[in-house]
Amino acid sequence: MELAHVSDLHVRGPSLGPWTGLLSKRWIGALNGLWRDHPLALLERILDDLRRRPPDHLAVTGDLTNTTLEGELARACRALAGVVEPARLSIVPGNHDAYVRAPVRARRFEHHVAPLLGLAPEALVWPRVQRVPISGGAADGDLALVSLNSAVPTPWFTAYGRLGAEQLARLDEALAAPAARRVVLVHHPPVQGDGRPDRPWRRNRDGAALLARCLARGVDLVLCGHTHAPFRHRLARPDGRPLWVVCAGSSTRRARALGRGGTYHRYWLEPDGPIRLDVRGLDPSTGRVEQVESVALT
Ligand SMILES: [Fe+2]
């Protein structure tokens, strides 16, 4: 089966929201959104490429918005609607989708995103566990796909994430069920490309606990975002097989050259054996989305 992964869309809304909101931490996000370059047209190009050759499943690992405004969420969800069927879509929130307390208390992200997933807002709970059939290879089986929520409102000038004991316990249960493959989606990477945690003010504070469970329970891939430059890091599981932590970077970061910004990932998974990763990205010289690289994750 083919699993596509996009991340960190940072869709800007029609306005910066009520001016009173700018008295909160939101002004940092508003400034960030103005100075960082995440063109909506680039998101459309990437989504068009997905529509042209729809994957079996699409994963979006957070930061749909800049400051969790209704207008940003509505615009991001409009763009994502219909790319794949609701049952073939997984979306987790990022820190920018839980920017300040009020929208988190109101479950604003869940209210906007649940209909895209074919769910009632109250049915979108974390972790979300999906089973996706995989065919091909000698022994057919299921992919267990676990979506985690690491997004918590944090103080000014910080962007760390947390999963909490309850979510980790339920993740453990979900991973214990038999499956041919296991993939975990989380916005905040448990480690960076060098195998070390991110800086304290922006790291996944439950990253070590998450990795320990993924290693012990036979997870193949941890797919994340948050860090806007893509990276991948290999760890060895106790059964000798690899666990790859792969960050898609920001799929809407303006492309400077083919493979530098404006990229997304497509994974080919069979019940067994190495996973193939195809990176696709916008070539700014032609305006087309092209293959950047194809690697076997061994
Ligand atoms: Fe983030």
CA of 78 to the centre of ligand 1 (A): 21
Backbone angles phi, psi at 44, to 5 degrees: -60, -40
- The whole-angstrom separation of Cα 128 and Cα 57 is 15
Residues surrounding ion ligand 1 at CB below 5 Å: 63, 94-95, 226
Q: What is the pLDDT at residue 34?
A: 60
Q: Is the pTM of this model over 0.85?
A: yes
Domain boundaries, the chain: 2-297
Q: What is the pLDDT at residue 35?
A: 59
Tracing tokens 């079996």 back to the chain, one arrives at 56
Domain 2-297, CATH class in plain words: alpha beta
pLDDT in tens, the chain (298 residues): 999 999 999 998 876 666 555 556 666 666 666 656 799 999 999 999 999 999 999 999 999 999 999 999 999 999 999 999 999 999 999 999 999 999 999 999 999 999 999 999 999 999 999 999 997 655 568 999 999 999 999 998 999 999 999 999 999 999 999 999 999 999 999 999 999 999 999 999 999 999 999 999 999 999 999 999 999 999 999 999 999 999 999 999 999 999 999 999 999 999 999 999 999 999 999 999 999 999 999 9
Helices (H) and strands (E) in the chain, counts: 7, 12
Sheet arrangement for strand 141-147: 128-134, 141-147, 181-185, 221-224, 242-247, 231-236
Q: What is the pLDDT at residue 189?
A: 98
CA of 294 to the centre of ligand 1 (A): 26
Q: What is the pLDDT at residue 288?
A: 96
CA of 188 to the centre of ligand 1 (A): 7
CA of 178 to the centre of ligand 1 (A): 32
Amino acid identity at 56: D
CA of 272 to the centre of ligand 1 (A): 32
CA of 231 to the centre of ligand 1 (A): 15
Binning the chain into helix, strand and coil, the percentages to the nearest 5 are: 30, 25, 45
Q: What is the pLDDT at residue 141?
A: 83
Sheet arrangement for strand 57-61: 89-92, 57-61, 2-6, 263-268, 275-283, 288-297
